[in-house]
Chain A
Amino acid sequence: MPGRLEPEPIPRRDFLGLAAVWSAVAAFFAAAIGALRLPMPAVFPESNSKVKLGPPDAFRPGSQTHLPEQKLWVVHDEGGLYALSTVCTHLGCIAGKEKSGEFRCPCHGSVFSKEGKVLGGPAPKALGRLALSLAPDGQLVCDTMTAVDPATRLKV
């Protein structure tokens, strides 16, 4: 009696036929996935995420400096220096500073405080803080790909 423990045997020809079909299907999908690996970039074209911003003394205590090319503001407050990215955390437009000191994004109206906190609009999180450091030649360096905690300051 065929049952769960002794199932009816599959005829050998059917088994081989099924095995052939399914291995062809599996091979096809494996090949397709392999082919799709190609457009997934392994190396990114951005050559170097670190940019030199000049000597740190240029950013006096209490100053706020706009670097439009780098899409950031360098702020020097009581704690030290920090870099605030102006790339909107919603969908990547560039937020501009209003006279009030707040940042507003032109694309869907996100509003950020002076320190980058979300005040309104669709942005899901605060403007990014970017890592600052000093290069061996004494210049200020910003790593535009590395985000840091908002409390981080570079003392100079």
Chain B
Amino acid sequence: MTPLDTQSAPASEAPRPGGMSTFLANLLDVPRSLYDSIVRHGPPTSDRTKSQTVVSNFFLHVLPAHIHVDSLKFWATCGLGIVTGVLFGLLCVTGILLMVYYKPSVAEAYDSVKDIVFVVPTGRFMRNIHRWAAHAMVAFVILHMARVFYTSAYKAPRQFNWLIGMVLFVLTLGMSFTGYLLPWDQLAYWAITIGANIAQSPRELTDALGVTSWLDVGGMQKELLLGAHYVGQEALIRFYVLHVMVLPLATCIVLGAHMWRVRKDGGLARPEKPVPAVPPPVSVKELPASTRSWGLMAVVKGQSPHVGAEMEDAVPAYPGALYAIAALSMLTVAASLVLGYLFDAPLKELAAPTVPENPAKAPWYFLGLQELVSYSAFMGGVGIPGIVVLGLGLIPYLDREREDAGVWFSGRRGRTVAVASALFAVAWTVLQLWFTVRFGWLRNWYPEIPQLAITILNPGTVIVAVFALWSIATVQLTRSTRLGAIALFTCFLVSFAILTYFATVHRGPNWDFYWWPSMWPRH
């Protein structure tokens, strides 16, 4: 470029009266030119500008420019993932506000929460919202997972995103577990004491095998979690760091990967429409080398020839998807506000390390586990949850039947299997609980029995084994891994719900059975 060019370029753009008048004109123009510098396309009226609206906006571009009409229907997702995400956002906002006053020290934590409740303007409200949104987030994570499962949305190419979802599930539970300690009241103290000892419960196994002295996994886990052998200042700081920093940050990152994968996996799972004009899909391997010149389409996994055909049913994501998300957010936030306004989050007496709560109950989503823990600490707290998480993670790799993505229950047969499994799980779980409450278990019959026998054979492991057999039988009978998976998932979900209900309502002081909490002895 010659010096001459540089001088002539600006001159040609506008007449140059120069000086103050240009300055004033620019000043008056600031709002418009600012807007133009942010939004670099026309109003979203045409298909093209609607796409640009989404694609050129950092926050909107989690959405694809075009979305399949079926993905926008309510029954495609029930909006569950979005609600979970909104709740997470709400928790971050209210959590940061709580952080302004909360002090993570044994001497001050409880008082600072009391200040939040009784002194800080809107403090009680914010704390209530934080608490109820946290409960709701756990519930919605589970519901979202169930939706994905029952609509076969974990199948190729979405297997890995199912795994990412599992990580988010565990992170969510981790956040609520660590948050539970922070108020430092009786509820918090004893729930976390139990939780930390569950982390130590592999000792039950190593003790039974007699190897604890040189391989003490349980002890190490507990020390890592608590920084001590009891729940004290070290534990509080650790839980605080995990709760307000490590886990939310990890969740943000993993959530980003989750949303990104949704797009890369070709949008949400949806039923394949029959596409007559297109030849059946061929895998890359089967193609003769010479025809492998089909650009991006070859990189995209899946049945790429369908992509073009299906675009016909796509609509611009703007504004339809955006409205849907906005509406769900409004509903979620509104519901949380109403809950927070009407109901106070519990706050018991200051933590007392020598007087346990009776009964000491974990938050509801861990109560099912607490019931299992009351049979065997290791199996209930580590063994069975480990099996369940592993089993859930393996589902997409064991069930690889390809058809019916996006169809609830994979159609009629699946629905039948789901209903049958639900009934079976209700019957078996109730029977097992009744039996255990009525007749006790091995220790009551053979007081001298070695612990290992109880660790291996207890009501919890019996339930797991029966459900495993039930679903293997389903696979055998129906010759379908998908139906077997439906059987197993349904059994576990239903049984989890019953155990949770049972431990919430029917377990009282000393973990004894009561028909109703009002029948608990007063003391």
Please determine whether B443 and A118 come into contact, CB atoms closer than 8 angstroms.
Answer: yes
Q: B207 within 8 Å of A by Cβ?
A: yes
B510 A46 Cβ-Cβ under 8 A? no
Whether B359 pairs with A122 at a CB distance below 8 angstroms is: no
Which residues of chain B come closer than 8 Å to A68, judged between CB atoms?
A: 354
When C-beta atoms are compared, the residue in chain A nearest to B204 turns out to be A124
* Chain B residues near A97 (CB-CB < 8 A): none
Contacting residues of chain B (337-377) with chain A, CB-CB under 8 angstroms: 354-360, 370, 373-377
Give CA–CA (A122, B375) in the complex, Å: 5
Is there contact, CB below 8 Å, between B510 and A122?
Answer: no
Q: Does A40 contact B (CB under 8 A)?
A: yes
User: Is A125 touching B512 in the complex (CB atoms < 8 A)?
Assistant: no
| Chain A residue with Cβ nearest B195 | A91
Chain A neighbourhood of B197, CB < 8 A: 90-92
Asked whether A76 is an interface residue with its Cβ less than 8 Å from the other chain, the reply is no
B238, A91: Cβ atoms under 8 Å?
Answer: no
Tell me whether A17 is interfacial, beta carbon within 8 Å: no
**Is residue B216 within 8 Å, beta carbon to beta carbon, of the partner chain?**
no
What is the distance, in angstroms, from B377's C-beta to the closest C-beta of chain A? 6
B220 x A40 contact (CB < 8 A)? yes
Chain B: residues with Cβ within 8 Å of the partner, total of 45
B111 touches A (CB below 8 Å):
no
Min CB distance, B414 to chain A, in Å?
Answer: 38
Bitwise interface map of A from 117 to 128 toward B, beta carbon under 8 Å scored 1, else 0: 011111011000
Residues of B within 8 A of A92 (CB): 193-194, 196-197
B393 at the interface (CB under 8 A from A): no
Interface check B153, CB cutoff 8 A: no
| Known contacts A91-B194, A106-B358; A41 and B377 CB within 8 A of each other | no
Instruction: A41 to B512: give the CA distance in the assembly, Å.
Output: 38
List the B side residues contacting A90 at CB < 8 Å: 197, 377
- Asked if B193 contacts A41 (CB within 8 A), the reply is no
A124 close to B374 (CB less than 8 A): no
- When the two chains form their complex, are residues A93 and B194 in contact, meaning their CB atoms are under 8 A apart? yes
Given A39-B224, A94-B355, check contact A124 B230 (CB 8 Å).
Answer: no
Contact of B511 among A40, A94, A107 (CB under 8 A): A107
Chain B residues, CB < 8 A from A107: 190, 194, 356, 358-360, 511
Closest to B512 in A: A109
Query: Which residues of chain A come closer than 8 Å to B259, judged between CB atoms?
Result: none
Interface size class on chain A is 20 to 34
What separation, in Å, do the CA atoms of A108 and B381 have in the docked complex?
13
Q: How far is the CA of A71 from the CA of B196 in the complex (A)?
A: 19
In the bound complex, CA of A125 to CA of B376 (Å):
12
User: How long is the Cα–Cα vector from A121 to B229 in the complex, in angstroms?
Assistant: 24
What residues of chain A lie closer than 8 Å to B355, measured between beta carbons? 94
Chain A minimum-CB-distance residue to B444: A120
For B434-464 the 0/1 string (1 means CB < 8 A from A) is 0000001001100100010011000000000
Is A75 at the interface (CB under 8 A from chain B)?
A: no
Asked if residues A93 and B224 are in contact (CB atoms below 8 Å), the reply is: no
Among A39, A68, A91, A108, max chain B CB count under 10 A is at: A91
A109 CB to nearest chain B CB (Å): 4
How far, in Å, is A1 (CB) from chain B's closest CB? 28
- Which one of A40, A41, A69, A122 contacts B374 once the chains associate, using CB atoms below 8 Å? A122
* 9 additional contacts (CB under 8 A) given A46-B228, A106-B509: A92-B193, A92-B196, A94-B356, A105-B510, A106-B356, A107-B194, A122-B454, A124-B208, A124-B377
* Chain A to chain B contacts (Cβ below 8 Å), 22 pairs: A40-B224, A41-B227, A46-B228, A68-B354, A90-B197, A90-B377, A91-B197, A92-B193, A94-B354, A106-B511, A107-B190, A107-B194, A107-B511, A109-B511, A118-B443, A120-B443, A120-B444, A120-B447, A121-B511, A122-B454, A124-B207, A124-B451
User: Which residues on B are within 8 Å of A, measured CB to CB?
Assistant: 190, 193-194, 196-198, 201, 204, 207-208, 220, 223-224, 227-230, 232-234, 238, 354-360, 370, 373-377, 440, 443-444, 447, 451, 454-455, 509-512
Residues of chain A at the chain B interface (Cβ within 8 Å)? 39-41, 44-46, 68-69, 71, 90-94, 104-109, 118-122, 124-125, 145
- State the 7 A-B residue pairs at the shortest beta-carbon distance, nearest first: A106-B358, A108-B374, A109-B511, A91-B197, A92-B197, A93-B356, A124-B451
